[in-house]
Structure 1
Amino acid sequence: MEYDFSKLNDREFEVLAASVIEKEQKNKVEIFKSGRDGGVDGRFWVGEKKEGIIQCKHYLETTYPKLISKLKTEELVKVKKLNPSKYIFVTSKKLSRINKLEIKDIFHPYIHTEEDIWGLEDLNTFLSRKENQDIVERNYKLWITSTSVLDIIYSNAIKGRSKVTIREIEERSYRYVITENHIKGLRILEENNVIILTGEPGIGKTTLADNLAIHYIAKGYEFCDIEENISEAESLFRENEQKKIIFYCDDFLGSNMYDAINNKKDSHIVKFINRIRKDKSKKFILTSRTNILNKAYSLSHIFQNFKIRDNEFLLTIGNLTNIDKAKILYNHIYHSNLPEQFIDVIYKDKRYKEIIKHRNFNPRIIEFITDSSVFGNLKPESYWEYIIKSLNEPEVIWATYFQNQTDDCVRALTFLTVYNNGKISEDNLRKSYNSFLSIHPVNLGDHSDKTFEAVRKLATKSLLNRNLIEDNKYEYVLFNPSIADFVLSSYSNEIDLICNLIKSLETEASIDFLHALFRSNKINSRFLNMILEDLFGYFYEHKLSEEDWDFLIALSYLDFFNENINKRVEIFLKALINADRPSGHRIWELLMILSEFEPEIKYKDFKFLYYFIFNIDDDNTLKKLLDFVDEHNIADEDILIQIDDLLEKYLRSFVDNNDLSIDFAKYISQSYYHEGYPEIDVDIHGIENEIRDNLDSFLDGFNINVLDRICFDTSNIVSSIDVDSMVTRYLENYEPDYDRDAHGSYFSGSSGEDDIDAIFERS
């Protein structure tokens, strides 16, 4: 088996080496805190008084001749001074037998045998043995990058987007530092099955979520990345009841918070969360910004009533000790592409302490200030000023790079991605980019290539990430979520820019995103009429001719009280209701708009609803539909039959998923045969009665007139329920495989000044 030692920093490699030698020697190895080691990375005793020492060289990128040179000029002097009884040398470089003989000769007589020289192959062989897997699992980054675990990880993605997410997580894992937050997060997931990681931007919510997810994927859970539609996750849940699945939702609610609450999707979300909480074979990891969850909680009675915040784990800088912050900074520096003279700036006069103790320290800023591709042509003498400014003014962290080190074309790709809600397919981005160049004033600057292919290469890995979704299909997402924060705060008054971006994108996602920006006041509402009228003037005629009903519904829903566009909305609605078999997914918004435009709209019939209501799967939209049917006395047999089918399908799923919260314990009793074996008695009739009562109670919120007209009866549902299977699922007990010790740390202890200095000590 192969292990990727490149993911470990030098301190982590030392801890690993000490663990290996301790187990191989069957002799306790003392590990000294990081710092100037005098040639000692670990110590053990040979007999009672003879000292043995371990020296580690994590020299993956160093050439073998350079390694030998260092050993002769630096390490040999230290070893002679120490005069150990035994000397063990460990390196992450590949070593041939000839190499080992040369190293043994250098350290004669302290290295007794070639077996005391460990190279990459020796470490791989030792760690691959089954009896040594405990060492691998204690070294988290080594464990998740082992070939066996990677095989599990990459084979456990449920769909295309999930595969991309897993690859991104694994590629970022080398910067991860295990802190107490990781252990607490695992504990919450084991106890509740659900965790909502909250905190301010940049605090590390996504990073923690990523690594909690990887932990479970490596333990055999299949992985499902939920983006917008929770219905897909519900389907997977129903289809894979016996499988272990971890669901993952980054930026829960996000810019779609108001849409989720106003369209009554909050009940949908809560039901799914509660379903996960009841099933030990499923886990759900979500991240959300604190202010968004606070606002959503204040607006949603459903979130309040179902105590969604019981699943919350708030991340703050206060959760991190100074040692945690020192590890984070050190790890970023170690794995950065910073030239040595820039690293010297951080080490000068122990300035790293100023960074660690800064009031605005957070992992995102650390990532930013240690990424030389972001600050471009900055000189070493200006680097410290740049660091302090980034810490003092984190809200403009992208300003220098975005405004001074990119051109209009690279910015255009970024704008388009931001206003398409942070992700966009390559085909759409290419089309939108070419359209944007034709309708918006763009300074092309020099005579360099401004084609999409040329510009996207400049933007990728600095402002955007390009991810392979499936064969030859790519998607672009923001390189860092804070880019959107910067763009939205810096350009919110650029009305022409915003309108031209939406025109170029021509997607429902961009319209929905614009709606969310107005609702959250990220664009001043005084601009709404101006933007809406401009967009209606641009899109209305050709969208109407194309019969792109969902796009027109989304556009109208921005503000259907606008008198200047009302006449056109009215014409669009009349065209829709008179069209031949119109279809779409935006039934909630359509019913809201139709209700507002009565009595201007005259209905010849209601067949236009048929293909809009085909896939309704939430009770609030069903309630809205039934009210609409009652209000207009709709008698269309096809629609009424479809409503009956939708209600039955919805309530069946309600029962199957136990969203009615039946307390099975009340109906199960246990007695014993004389041999002592248990016998389970189940009151099936009692369970059926409670299900029937709960379904009838649930339907109290639905329009009784329509229920009577379709003769809806819950008895058919109750009579078809396999209660035995429900009880069996209830009784199933999933044993957790949680190992709280399966993590590693290259230094633990207090957060004293000496300990911080020791981490940053350079040999």
Structure 2
Amino acid sequence: MGYDFTTLSPTDFEELIADLLSAEWGTQLEIYTEGRDRGIDLLYTRKIGVDTKAIIQCKRYGPKQRSQLLTAVKLEIKKLDRLLPQRYVLATSVALTNPNKDAIVDALKPYCLGTQDIYGANEINALLRKHKHIERAHFKLWISSTAILERVLHAGIFEVTGANVDYAIREIKKLVPHDGLNRALVVLKENNHVLIVGNPGIGKTTVARMLLCHLLKDEYEPIWITNNISEAWEVIGRAEQEKRKTVLIYDDFLGQLVFSSPRFAKNEDSSLFTLLDKVSESQYLKLILTSREYILEDAKRVHGVFSTNADSLVKATISLADYTEAARSKVLFNHLYFSDLSNERLIKILETKVYAKIVRHANFNPRVVETIAKAANSKHLDDDEYIRFIEHEFDNPAKLWRYPFDHEIDQIGRQILIAVASFDRDPLSNEIRAIILAMNSGESSEVLNSLFDRSLKQLVGNFLNSEYLPSAGSRECRQHTTLRFQNPSVREFVNEKILADPEWVLKIARSIQSFDQIETMIDLAEGIGSPIYHQDIWSVLGAAARRVQMTKHMYVMNCSDTHSFLGPYKAVFSHDYHLDKILARRLRIEGNLYPESQGFLDLKSALLKTDIWFEIFTAIQTDAEAMSGISDSVKCFTSRFGKNDGFLTQMRTVMRTAVIRILEKNIPTYVTEISELLELCEPLELTTLELLTIRHAIQRCVNEQTSSRSPETYYLDEDLSALRSLSSKLDIDLEDIESDLGNFIEAVEANSGDPEYEASTAPSSYRLEKENSLDIDQMFQGLRDRIP
């Protein structure tokens, strides 16, 4: 295939030529840093066959910009007269005809010895076909091929509204490999998984994207985990069965801004480490996780199992140290070169040399670089104000959004952002629309709908990203538009705005449309410092919770078509809220009202009813994640009423009665579920008849598992462990059942195995610029190539 090299910056192109000609000529080419006053950006070699000083100049233009190239080449003759090379070689991304080459040779006499020293796009592509290891080492080249780009889009590596090939190419152009990427590659290769950690904005997700691009070369299919780790188990069984290489990506798997207990549910920690074991032994699976370092430490503190096993997660830490001056310069240069900033603004950057201050700033941050390189974030500033703006923005990344929020978007736009922040998931645009209509109930709905559409268009691509998704089971019908903040710094800023003005909390609380908002609103209400608003907020939230408790729980998750060869796809799911979550969240609200409200007393009464607990426990019949939610809810009840409260003793007695009814109805499918249900009711005081009921339920679950035609070893191992624990805890003889299950697991494992694995063809690391070869001023003069 032939490349047009448009995904490469001038520096990327220069490095490619250095590698290609070094391989072709059998000698190491070096960066020729002539000095700022001479103003020439060249490569040279000491030997090409004989002891000859040769200068190789790289000119990266669009594929058809022949006239611009010839004009630029003619300007070089005076510089060559000063340098007096014995040989001059030109490498350019422009496709050249023989007459084009003849004209260049004439313009560069006597230094250019002939057309054999002119490397146009065709000649460079020929060298790439000859030296394939060079092509593999420059991933921004091969990822720009049509076939790979289509896979990039299908995999959702760059999530954005209306993502297309052009958008993917624009994002790829900005990528810069660094030491952190190479470390992550080594960890992934050696362990089949990697946990990428680092501070906010340091580039964790960018490294994950580059790893995905790397794996695409080896025919891996990326699958983004959007909800929780249970998604992975639904994917990997099919992937291994079909011998399909799959890489699972779980971005911010512990939460985006703080540790998220609901996202990292009760058994998700043990499920994760079981998945790690599975991935490490597989020849078809890889796993990439990302998390902020402080959130990782918080998770260790909160979760015992996670803390005990956390060392089995092999980390690659991305830090500011990975961004050497060379890497920083390339990050900034690429974002500026491929930005939508005006040429006048680029000229001002060159004139003031503000790029040097940014590159050497103590708080250099790739996310801030991305933000200052977007024209929309500074359109209210003139060029001089823009320079002052970017000089100070690295001190507080969140403040980047202050002026646009206060001055560039309208009131409806601000309300939309506040409403999006009231969800702990990606809300649907129609949900946000309903909130805005409720927040402005005195206005004309027709006018508000028009204002909403206009404001949302203004926000998407700046403050927000959106994505068009289908409902589960209807891949082709994309009727939902989900919204999310462009990056975590936007959410941080909006949250600060809400907490700084409690009126926002009241406005949202009065306009709540989904029970999915309640948890976030409780957290925001608890963060309000002013006691003046407390009772008003809790009263309004209580009324809202009662009003919306029957709304559907919406979430985005990967969905698989059983009979489709296309693989999983992201879709919008919905289901009724489980009763325990409704009670737990309402209890958190009512418990903050003084004196005790009637709603609080009603909730206490409900928790002492067997029918209520029976309904709560039946959720495990249809929802694999229900048990972890029930466990969290029971913790909430226990925390609210105190460990020694007589109320808790009564509640646990009612719960035990409900559990026995559940077992009699043959609802649990796994022994682990039986164990977890009984654990919720501890301490256990069981009758002989109840113990017999429990033993019968365990026997039934094992019989169902061992008679399955496609048993899942993960669940079998979990059940065996739970069975042994119950035998000890309840002091009942389960040896015969344990033996049957153990023998079955051995037989299943004996019949499983992985086929031969195809070796990787992608490089194990990427070429990095030598620090001592860098001339920042020289590099940024390359911005002039973008200016007509």
Match of 2:60 among 42, 58, 72: 58
Matches within 5 A, 1:87-106: 87-106=88-107
Residue 336, structure 1, aligned to residue 314, structure 2: no
Q: Could you tell me how far 1:301 is from its partner in structure 2?
A: 1.4
CA contact 1:22–1:28 (8 Å) conserved in 2? yes
- Alignment-derived partner of residue 485 in structure 1: 492
| 1:509–1:58 CA distance, 2 compared to 1 (3 A) | farther
Q: Separation in 2 of the partners of 1:541 and 1:138?
A: 58
CA contact 1:449–1:455 (8 Å) conserved in 2? no
Q: Could you tell me how far 1:616 is from its partner in structure 2?
A: 7.8
- Alignment-derived partner of residue 42 in structure 1: 43
Q: Separation in 2 of the partners of 1:703 and 1:739?
A: 54
Pick which of 212-221 and 359-368 moved more.
212-221
Q: Secondary structure at the match of 1:302?
A: helix
| 1:740–1:396 CA distance, 2 compared to 1 (3 A) | same
CA contact 2:221–2:246 (8 Å) conserved in 1? yes
Q: Could you tell me how far 1:115 is from its partner in structure 2?
A: 4.8
Q: Separation in 2 of the partners of 1:104 and 1:7?
A: 28
| 1:429–1:80 CA distance, 2 compared to 1 (3 A) | same
Residue 234, structure 1, aligned to residue 233, structure 2: yes
- Alignment-derived partner of residue 223 in structure 2: 224
The amino acid across from 2:740 in the alignment is: N
CA contact 1:507–1:551 (8 Å) conserved in 2? no
Q: Separation in 1 of the partners of 2:665 and 2:229?
A: 19
The amino acid across from 2:767 in the alignment is: G
Q: Separation in 1 of the partners of 2:4 and 2:272?
A: 39
Q: Secondary structure at the match of 2:332?
A: helix
| 1:590–1:38 CA distance, 2 compared to 1 (3 A) | closer
Q: Secondary structure at the match of 2:329?
A: helix
Match of 1:68 among 57, 67, 70: 70
Q: Separation in 2 of the partners of 1:213 and 1:611?
A: 48
Q: Could you tell me how far 1:329 is from its partner in structure 2?
A: 2.1
- Alignment-derived partner of residue 274 in structure 2: 271
- Alignment-derived partner of residue 357 in structure 2: 354
Q: Could you tell me how far 1:716 is from its partner in structure 2?
A: 2.9
CA contact 1:183–1:740 (8 Å) conserved in 2? no
CA contact 1:4–1:146 (8 Å) conserved in 2? no
| 1:621–1:297 CA distance, 2 compared to 1 (3 A) | farther
- Alignment-derived partner of residue 603 in structure 2: 569
CA contact 2:6–2:62 (8 Å) conserved in 1? yes
- Alignment-derived partner of residue 174 in structure 1: 173
Pick which of 506-515 and 615-624 moved more.
615-624
Q: Separation in 2 of the partners of 1:228 and 1:727?
A: 32
Matches within 5 A, 1:231-380: 231-241=230-240, 242-254=243-255, 255=258, 257-259=260-262, 263-308=266-311, 310-348=313-351, 350-380=353-383
The amino acid across from 1:215 in the alignment is: H
- Alignment-derived partner of residue 119 in structure 1: 120
Q: More relative contact order in 1 or in 2 (CA 8 Å, sep 6+)? A: 1
Q: Separation in 1 of the partners of 2:384 and 2:727?
A: 71
| 1:236–1:515 CA distance, 2 compared to 1 (3 A) | farther
Q: Could you tell me how far 1:607 is from its partner in structure 2?
A: 10
CA contact 1:461–1:479 (8 Å) conserved in 2? yes
Q: Could you tell me how far 1:459 is from its partner in structure 2?
A: 0.9
Q: Could you tell me how far 1:504 is from its partner in structure 2?
A: 5.0
Q: Separation in 1 of the partners of 2:741 and 2:363?
A: 57
Q: Separation in 1 of the partners of 2:671 and 2:350?
A: 57
Match of 1:535 among 537, 541, 546: 541
Matches within 5 A, 1:482-521: 482-498=489-505, 500-501=507-508, 504=511, 506-514=513-521
- Alignment-derived partner of residue 20 in structure 2: 20
Q: Separation in 2 of the partners of 1:205 and 1:580?
A: 39
The Cα offsets for residues 624-646 of structure 1, whole Å up to 9 and x where unpaired, read as: 35654977989799999877666
Q: Secondary structure at the match of 1:202?
A: coil
The amino acid across from 2:540 in the alignment is: D
Residue 467, structure 1, aligned to residue 467, structure 2: yes
TM-score normalized by structure 1? 0.79
CA contact 1:376–1:405 (8 Å) conserved in 2? no
- Alignment-derived partner of residue 677 in structure 2: 624
| 1:500–1:349 CA distance, 2 compared to 1 (3 A) | closer
Pick which of 257-266 and 462-471 moved more.
257-266
Pick which of 147-156 and 49-58 moved more.
147-156
The amino acid across from 1:569 in the alignment is: L
- Alignment-derived partner of residue 664 in structure 1: none
TM-score normalized by structure 2? 0.77
| 1:368–1:267 CA distance, 2 compared to 1 (3 A) | same
5+ long unaligned stretches in structure 2 = 471-475, 554-574, 642-646
Q: Separation in 1 of the partners of 2:614 and 2:744?
A: 40
Q: Secondary structure at the match of 2:482?
A: strand
Q: Could you tell me how far 1:407 is from its partner in structure 2?
A: 1.5
Q: Could you tell me how far 1:612 is from its partner in structure 2?
A: 12
CA contact 1:189–1:283 (8 Å) conserved in 2? yes
Q: Could you tell me how far 1:396 is from its partner in structure 2?
A: 2.2
| 1:108–1:525 CA distance, 2 compared to 1 (3 A) | same
The amino acid across from 2:745 in the alignment is: I
CA contact 1:88–1:116 (8 Å) conserved in 2? yes
Give the root-mean-square deviation of aligned CA atoms: 4.7
Q: Separation in 2 of the partners of 1:442 and 1:181?
A: 54
CA contact 1:248–1:284 (8 Å) conserved in 2? yes
- Alignment-derived partner of residue 391 in structure 1: 394
| 1:191–1:602 CA distance, 2 compared to 1 (3 A) | closer
The amino acid across from 2:141 in the alignment is: L
The amino acid across from 1:554 in the alignment is: K
| 1:660–1:413 CA distance, 2 compared to 1 (3 A) | same
Match of 1:744 among 760, 767, 770: 767
- Alignment-derived partner of residue 193 in structure 2: 194
Q: Could you tell me how far 1:511 is from its partner in structure 2?
A: 3.2
Q: Secondary structure at the match of 1:267?
A: helix
- Alignment-derived partner of residue 656 in structure 1: 713
| 1:259–1:152 CA distance, 2 compared to 1 (3 A) | closer
Match of 2:405 among 402, 407, 421: 402
Q: Could you tell me how far 1:246 is from its partner in structure 2?
A: 1.4
The amino acid across from 2:204 in the alignment is: K
Q: Separation in 2 of the partners of 1:515 and 1:171?
A: 40
Q: Separation in 1 of the partners of 2:726 and 2:660?
A: 25
| 1:368–1:701 CA distance, 2 compared to 1 (3 A) | farther
Pick which of 579-588 and 185-194 moved more.
579-588
The Cα offsets for residues 278-328 of structure 1, whole Å up to 9 and x where unpaired, read as: 435422211111221111111221122113475233322134323322222
CA contact 1:175–1:335 (8 Å) conserved in 2? yes
CA contact 2:377–2:404 (8 Å) conserved in 1? yes
Q: Secondary structure at the match of 2:587?
A: coil
Q: Secondary structure at the match of 2:56?
A: strand
Q: Could you tell me how far 1:201 is from its partner in structure 2?
A: 0.9
Q: Could you tell me how far 1:35 is from its partner in structure 2?
A: 6.5
Q: Could you tell me how far 1:397 is from its partner in structure 2?
A: 2.7
CA contact 2:416–2:436 (8 Å) conserved in 1? no
Q: Could you tell me how far 1:353 is from its partner in structure 2?
A: 3.1
CA contact 2:699–2:737 (8 Å) conserved in 1? no
Residue 32, structure 1, aligned to residue 32, structure 2: yes
Residue 715, structure 1, aligned to residue 739, structure 2: yes
CA contact 2:259–2:295 (8 Å) conserved in 1? no
| 1:469–1:202 CA distance, 2 compared to 1 (3 A) | same
Q: Separation in 2 of the partners of 1:156 and 1:29?
A: 38
